[in-house]
Amino acid sequence: MRILIIHSDYLNYNVKNKTPVAEEIEEAKKQGAFDESLVVFTAVEKEDEKNPSAIVKNLIKEIKKVNDQVKAENIVLYPYAHLSSSLSSPKVAVQILKDAEEIIKSEGLDVYRVPFGWYKAFEISCKGHPLSELSRTITADEEDEEEGEKKPS
């Protein structure tokens, strides 16, 4: 799984057209607005299908590690296919994101999952401090890869 984490003043989105892999969503999910958020853009990869639960675990570990430092008010899981050229099936991707959302929520954090498989208009700000943009490869291994730390844009 490839992720791009952006510590943002705001993220707003509106769903537009469906794609063939769009998940069904309630009316309330058709738009969203989040201030002071850690936005986690995610691309679940083919490789991740082998051990989804380990991916979920390591994703959450990475998110919490970053959020312990930046202390955002919300965590937003945003599906972003463009981060990888080797995507998993939509089914696995949605399940991994749902599981991550549920576990993070159960730990008392404010977390939100943006709909999968829809074209979306969005606006985002990036705060610009050294930890406000991070990219990672999440694997099923016990130790996460630490590639990309503090890489400038």
Per-position b or e across 47-65, b if 16+ CB within 10 A of its CB:
ebeeebeebbbbbbebbee
- Farthest-apart Cα atoms in the chain, separation: 39
Nearest to 55 by CA among 95, 115, 114, 111: 95
Instruction: Say how many Å lie between the first and final Cα of the chain, rounded.
Output: 20
Q: How far is the CB of 28 from Mg ion (least distance, A)?
A: 24
Residue whose token pair is 């610009």: 128
Q: How far is the CB of 26 from its own copies (least distance, A)?
A: 19
Q: What are phi and psi of 86, to 5 degrees?
A: -135, 70
The stretch among 30-38, 44-52, 94-102, 129-137 that binds its own copies (CB under 8 A) is 129-137
Residues that bind Mg ion (CB under 5 A): 9
Q: Within 130-149, which residues bind its own copies (CB under 8 A)?
A: 130, 132-135, 137, 147-148
Question: Taking CB positions, which residue lies at the least distance from Mg ion?
Answer: 9
Determine if 52 is a binding residue for its own copies (CB under 8 A): no
Residue closer to its own copies by CB (options 18, 103) is: 18
- Residues at the interface with its own copies (CB under 8 A): 4, 14, 16-17, 19, 21-22, 78-83, 85, 117-130, 132-135, 137, 147-148, 151-153
